[in-house]
Amino acid sequence: MKHLLKLTIAIVSVLVAFTSCNNTSKSNSGALSSSAAEKVYVAPGDHDEFYAFISGGFSGQLSVYGLPSGRLFKVIPVFSQDAEKAYGYNEETKPMLNTSHGFVPWDDAHHPDISQTNGVIDGRWVFINGNNTPRIAKIDLSTFETTEIIEIPNSAGNHSSSFVTENSEYVVAGTRFSIPIPQKDMPIKDYKGNFKGSLSFISIDPEHGHMDIKFQLIMPGFDYDLSHPGRGKSHGWFFFTTYNTEEASTLMEVNASQNDKDFIAAVNWKKIEEYVNNGGGTMMPAKYAHNVYDEATHSATSTMKKEVLTVNPLDVPGAVYFLPTPKSPHGCDVDPTGEYIVGNGKLSANLTVHSFTKMLKAIEDNKVAGEAYGIPILNFEDVLAGVVEQPGLGPLHTEFDGKGNAYTTFFISSEVVKWKIGTWEVVDRQPCYYSVGHLMIPGGNSQKPFGKYVVAMNKITKDRYLPTGPEVTQSAQLYDISGDKMELLLDFPTIGEPHYAAGCPADLIKPRSKKLFKLEDNKHPYAALSEADTKVVRDGKTVHIYMTTIRSHFAPDNIEGIKVGDKVYFHVTNLEQDYDVPHGVSMIGANTSELLIMPGQTETFLWEPKQVGVWPFYCTDFCSALHQEMQGYVRVSPANSNTPLKWSLGEDIE
Amino acid sequence: MKKSNKLMLLAALLPLALFIFPLWNITLEAPQYPIPLGMNIHINDFSDAHPHDIKNINLMNHYVGMKYIPDAIPEFKIFPAGIIITTILGLIIAFKGNYKWFLFWFILMIVISSAGLYDFYLWEHDYGHDLDPKAIMKFTNPDGTVMGFQPPLFGSKDILNFKAHSYPRLGALFLGLGIAASLIAYLVGKKNKNRI
């Protein structure tokens, strides 16, 4: 009996030992995740390898992340007011948000794209579209500030935008919703045949990046969803996916999903450019705002434009063709060689790839299957390069690694699928958490992608992060694609809805990033370039305060003679000329945001004092050891008082 | 021209490099300044090592009551004149003089350079110790005396959160080479003289 007990204990001990062995080997699988951690770990003080510009979706902004760390560096205000940076609040940037509908403080930011030279990302500007009140913005990547916004007339739901041609000749903006062009009062049910869709080609000044609408192609009333430029051999063409070729105007989810095939519109923009340069096209009355920020005056101006050049595609034979593409295609992606055009038919089980060479051949052989409103439709079989069979459900967007592979997101099956260009075989798939929309490989929209990472942008996160009430964060996921198999490395939260992204190597941008604005270049009309230039000037009920900041005081910091009912403009110049020394300023009761003024910059806020008293203002950015002392007072007297206008620094007001 | 006179000619010309290259440099390192602040001292100017460095040194130093680094000091007129005069003197000696004059020029240059360094020290001392009585931050030494912020004349020194470095630059090297060359010219001349 004793022996039996001993035996039992021995057996149990051995079992326990084995079990714990098993446990040990299980915890060894942690080695895999630690290698993922190493791949995304950027040591303190080290820099990321890539910049990622991720759209902020309905936040209206553009976020700047580092890859592979997934660290957020900056949110660049683009289409929405940003109280933190005074964008759209200060007098200098209010004109940036002006439109033909007046001041619009918000938009839905969608598809960032980086400028290119010779088919390669050049890191000078990033363009992004506002979807709701159609606009294209240009962000200067030396300052990471929005420096230009142009409104797009004859457009609604500016979605197949803002993609750049391979020498940054044009940034293109296509309408998602067709509308009456010109707008008029008419029954909605008369949509079919009467509504039109515009595709706008906006020229980019090669030196300053200034945008100007060169021409608008007035197309049939479909929905133009996404687009991409041709490159290499197909440079000179632009491709747009369409849906709602049914031209329905109600219960679109059903009525716009009836046709077996919609189209990819292939537009020979070089041909139309030539036509327009030779005097072609019709100038049409239009009203749209063009807002330009000037770095020298630190101020934006808004100009209302009066007309736009339109082109009827039927007037330029051979300029536009329709390529039949199954089931409401979303992404319209061109591979790095320019040969393959991928139509991501979002309601199709297959992925359709067209061949540019075959398209040219079909055009040459005049193999036309039919026409839509006079625009020739090519035969599906004549232009088809291949089909990726049953890769997943709900293909949305394809990017390329430059090594012969393509990566497509599938919204419904929530995954990224890797497949081979040419053989059309699926080689790998990785799940996304959850419901992935678009994806990004740095340099993806160019001849030279940097195929090391892919970022997937998800629409839903549910349980992936600590819960924050009903509204939870949106997120992106980083995959290593340098090997045969994709490896999920990192989840990271994003702002707004991350619709789309563009990325590039940090070395393209980092050396050009500005550290400060030179004071001697400051041409702001209300700048005070030294403390000797500070003053307070009354003009009727308007008062201009020419103020300066430097560690750690305002000049002047005592002001008297302001009256209730005045309009007081604080024009504040930051006299600092050192990297990363901004000053802020805010006034009690001002019906606006603070200012955050970079070294050498001048910004202005308006204060309309409503109450008699002595009211303080202070620096809002922790600028120095004496930041807490950086404050001042304004004496506000009754409207009918005779308090003389006086200002001072460092002495009592006499 | 004799070899020793050629050497003397070189000796007289080398200090002219002071009009091109800075004489001295003071650099201030601190954690918040990954690119350190620096000031180059020329014989006729103070210049920024990186744009706006002097302005930012002034901004830092005003917290402890130090005066702004002046745009110009009398030395900026005296030093260039001194260099031009000694160069002309050196040239005359190189063409007309013998080795004894070379020694005279060598001693003259040693005296003038020492006077310059002493002047620099006096300025530094004043700059580091003549503080505004209304200084924002006042520091005392362990013995209770008011802390000075004089940068080192030569070498490196910790001053509060900064590490200050003070070292000669290319201009000083050329000056030193010129002075050394005059001594060699003297020795060579003397040797040749003895041989004859």
Residue A43 lies in a domain: no
Q: Which residue of B lies nearest to A515 if distances are taken between CA atoms?
A: B51
User: Cβ–Cβ of A626/B51 closer than 8 Å?
Assistant: no
pLDDT at A30: 45
Is the pLDDT at B195 greater than 80? The verdict is no
pLDDT at A651: 86
The predicted-structure confidence for A379-430, as pLDDT tens digits, reads as follows 999 999 999 999 999 999 999 999 999 999 999 999 999 999 999 999 999 9
Residue A506 lies in a domain: yes
Give helix then strand counts, H and E, for chain B: 5, 5
* Portion of chain B with pLDDT greater than 90, in percent: 84
Q: Of A550, A578, A625, which is closest to B52 when you measure between CB atoms?
A: A578
Distance CA A447, CA A116 (A): 10
Say how far residue A632 (Cα) sits from the centre of its chain. Answer: 39
For range A22-43, the mean pLDDT: 65
Omega before A182 within 30 of 0, i.e. cis: yes
Same domain, A502 and A547: no
pLDDT at A8: 56
> Does A292 contact chain B (CB < 8 Å)?
no
A contacts of B55 (beta carbons < 8 Å): 577-578
Name the interface residues of B facing A (CB cutoff 8 Å). 35, 51-52, 55-56, 59, 63, 136-137
pLDDT at A256: 87
Same domain, A181 and A310: yes
CATH number of the CATH domain containing A553: 2.60.40.420
* Burial (CB count <10 Å: 0-12, 13-18, 19+), residue A409: buried
Is the pLDDT at A149 greater than 80? The verdict is yes
Residue A376 CB partners (closer than 8 Å, separation 6+): A321, A322, A368, A370
Same domain, A559 and A483: no
Which of A490, A512, A534 is a domain's end point?
A512
For range A369-376, the mean pLDDT: 96
| Structure tokens belonging to residue A455 | 């970022």
pLDDT at A28: 41
Number of inter-chain CB pairs under 8 A, A vs B: 16
Is the pLDDT at B47 greater than 70? The verdict is yes
Give the pLDDT band (50/70/90) at residue B192: confident
Q: Which helix (H) or strand (E) holds A647?
A: strand A646-648
pLDDT at A19: 45
Distance CA A414, CA A461 (A): 12
For range B38-55, the mean pLDDT: 95
Q: What is the total count of domains within chain A?
A: 2
A contacts of B56 (beta carbons < 8 Å): 577-578
pLDDT at A18: 46
Is the pLDDT at A21 greater than 70? The verdict is no
pLDDT at A517: 98
Rounded to two decimals, the pTM is 0.92
Same domain, A427 and A559: no
User: Cβ–Cβ of B52/A550 closer than 8 Å?
Assistant: no
A contacts of B35 (beta carbons < 8 Å): 579
User: Cβ–Cβ of A551/B59 closer than 8 Å?
Assistant: yes
> Does A4 contact chain B (CB < 8 Å)?
no
pLDDT at A23: 43
Residue A288 lies in a domain: yes
For range B98-115, the mean pLDDT: 94
Q: Which residue of B lies nearest to A625 if distances are taken between CA atoms?
A: B63
> Does A551 contact chain B (CB < 8 Å)?
yes
Which of A491, A512, A533 is a domain's end point?
A512
How far CA A52 is from CA of A114, A332, A415, A440, in Å, comes to 10, 21, 21, 9
A contacts of B52 (beta carbons < 8 Å): 577-578
Distance CA A414, CA A432 (A): 5
Residue A213 lies in a domain: yes
Residues A193/A210, Cβ–Cβ less than 8 Å: no
* Portion of chain A with pLDDT greater than 90, in percent: 91
Interface of A with B in 494-523 (CB under 8 A): none
pLDDT at A4: 56
pLDDT at B97: 85
ipTM, two decimals: 0.87
Same domain, A483 and A619: no
Q: Give the domain range for residue A566.
A: 519-648
**Shortest Cα distance from B51 to chain A (angstroms)?**
8
Average pLDDT value over all residues in chain A: 94
Residue A18 lies in a domain: no
For range A520-542, the mean pLDDT: 98
Q: Which residue of B lies nearest to A519 if distances are taken between CA atoms?
A: B52
Which of A512, A547, A568 is a domain's end point?
A512
For range A302-311, the mean pLDDT: 98
* Burial (CB count <10 Å: 0-12, 13-18, 19+), residue A522: buried
Q: Of B56, B63, B137, which is closest to A578 when you measure between CB atoms?
A: B56
Residue A203 lies in a domain: yes
> Does A578 contact chain B (CB < 8 Å)?
yes
Is the pLDDT at A6 greater than 70? The verdict is no
> Does A577 contact chain B (CB < 8 Å)?
yes
For range A471-488, the mean pLDDT: 96
Tell me how many degrees the CA angle A158-A205-A317 measures, rounded to the nearest 5: 60
**Shortest Cα distance from A578 to chain B (angstroms)?**
7
The predicted-structure confidence for A575-609, as pLDDT tens digits, reads as follows 999 999 999 999 999 999 999 999 999 999 999 99
Residues A214/A305, Cβ–Cβ less than 8 Å: no
Average pLDDT value over all residues in chain B: 93
pLDDT at A32: 53
Q: Of B51, B52, B63, which is closest to A625 when you measure between CB atoms?
A: B63
Q: Of B35, B56, B136, which is closest to A626 when you measure between CB atoms?
A: B136
CATH number of the CATH domain containing A314: 2.130.10.10
Is the pLDDT at B174 greater than 60? The verdict is yes
Distance CA A439, CA A481 (A): 13
> Does A529 contact chain B (CB < 8 Å)?
no
Give the pLDDT band (50/70/90) at residue A7: low
pLDDT at A31: 45
Same domain, A72 and A216: yes
